[in-house]
Amino acid sequence: MAEASPYTRKGWQSLSRPARQLILTRFLRAMAQGALAVDFTLYLKIRGWSASHVGLLLMAGGLFGAFLSLLVGIVSDRVGRRLFLLIYETGLIVGTALIIFYPTAWILVLTAALFGFGRGANGSSGPFAPAEQAWLAQSIPSARRGTVFSFNAGLQFWGMGIGSILAAILPHIMPGAHGPAAYLPLFIFNLVIAVINLAQILVIEEAPREPRMPRSEAQQQADSAVQKKENRALTWLTIVNMVNSLGVGLVAPLLPYWFNVKFGVGPSAIGPVYALTFFLTGIFSLVIGRMSERVGLIRSIVVPRVLGVALLIAIPFMPTFAIAAVLYVARSIVNRSSMGARQAFSVGLVRDKRRGFASSLNAMSWGLPAAIGPALGGQIISGGSLILPFILAAALQLGYVILFPTIMGRYDPTRAAAPGKAHGDTAASGRSS
């Protein structure tokens, strides 16, 4: 009998307690990041940062996160995942408090680089996200991961939407505050969320790691063969992801800055647009979760993104902010709503004992090109072109739409899964992954 969907009361209660707590923790974190996604680059602009300097800062955050995430994923497979989330939230508390009380340039650079401020990470725990994602995957039966990960993504988008609404409000709640001082409530809000999440993670129980048992030579050879198949799948996924990630990084992190330069709008106009985007994306993420059960993960990832490419290339040619915002909302919905399906696909390529590594490699393949993208996009915008970044981004994302089903179609765990068989665990039985 099929399990109830997680977005029903019965389905939610059927999830394990650690899974529910991890999902709620990420939802709260998404609220804080949603506010930062809109306001942080605008805050830097008020402090006198140019587009190229903002892009370089976002690049630094992406590069640091990409390299650290690889280490976190590998180590978390051996020592557990909870410790890394505790480190993340503690560091976030310290860094945000320093910005509030001592907002010098080096504090801003260090904290933003460590914790990805302004990158719109959809509630992920920055470079520690591989440990978090592997922990969540471990807490969910493999046959339910497509639906539950899409539900988790939907909640993240709704959290980002709430944060985007707050981004339009927070800079105006301190009477008489102007310039950088008006953004102080933004960082106070992030600090409060980090404290709440630290308290939540402290009470989440992590299942004990399975002891490593002695294995015969035949078992070692079989394990080596499966691992080679997993590595091959992960290598191809890394290559394909890097194409898409560079396309996303060229434009997405700098959009609030671009909207401000192109149309002269600020947080009051941009915040509600981002909020609407995230709320609608959350709804469509649930639709994609259902779709992945019927048509497979590959199709549910690729089909919406075809429309996304067309919408992306049209945005910079729009004459008004209103029209450009409508296209941005539509494009974000069709692109981002497949995030849960992409996460479920990546963790389904390997066995549980390697999911931290798989998640970290997936994060790095996204993080490295996405880190270079804002620096390149910022340089182009500073050079006077507000159109070229969109054209380059659309070309790269079109390449992803072609490459992903062509190369990764053979690894779709939902394509050939037999009824009642755990999708994500077939690697252990010799699936080509």
- pLDDT at residue 337, as a whole number: 72
Measured distance CA(234)–CA(236) in Å, rounded: 5
Band the pLDDT of 415: cuts 50, 70, 90: low
Report the pLDDT averaged over residues 407-422: 58
5 occurs within a structural domain: no
Tell me how far apart the alpha carbons of residues 40 and 45 are, in angstroms, rounded to a whole number. 9
Is 4 inside a domain boundary?
no
Query: What is the pLDDT at residue 7?
Result: 66
- Cβ partners under 8 Å of residue 416, min gap 6: none
pTM passes above 0.85: no
Per-residue confidence band for 419, with pLDDT thresholds at 50, 70 and 90: very low
Domain membership of residue 373 (yes or no) is yes
Which residue range forms the structural domain that includes residue 97?
16-205+225-429
* Tokens of residue 402, six digits: 């072609």
With residue 128 as reference, give the H or E element that holds it.
none
| pLDDT(154) > 60 | yes
Q: Where residue 154 sits, what CATH number does that domain have?
A: 1.20.1250.20
User: Is residue 200, in this structure, part of any structural domain at all?
Assistant: yes
Which percentage of the chain shows pLDDT scores above 90?
A: 21
pLDDT at position 162, please? 92
- Residue 159 is assigned to a structural domain of this protein: yes
Total number of domains in the chain: 1
Mean model confidence pLDDT for the chain? 81
CB 7 within 8 A of CB 79: no
In a domain, 306, yes or no: yes
261 touches 386 (CB < 8 A): yes
More confident residue, 417 or 284: 284
Q: What is the DSSP letter of 304?
A: H
**Contact (Cβ atoms closer than 8 angstroms) between residue 408 and residue 341:** no
Q: Is residue 425 part of a domain?
A: yes
Let me know if residue 213 belongs to a domain.
Answer: no
pLDDT in tens, 302-317: 878 888 899 999 999 9
> Tell me, what's the pLDDT at 355?
72
Distance CA 76, CA 209 (A): 10
For residues 279 and 295, give the distance between their C-alpha atoms in angstroms, rounded to a whole number.
24
The pLDDT tens digits for 233-267 are 888 988 988 998 888 888 888 888 899 999 999 88
C-alpha span between 270 and 257 (Å, rounded): 10
88 in helix, strand or coil?
Answer: helix
C-alpha distances in Å from residue 284, one per residue of 273, 304, 354: 17, 10, 30
At 103, the amino acid letter reads P
At residue 413 the predicted structure's pLDDT band, cuts being 50, 70 and 90, is low
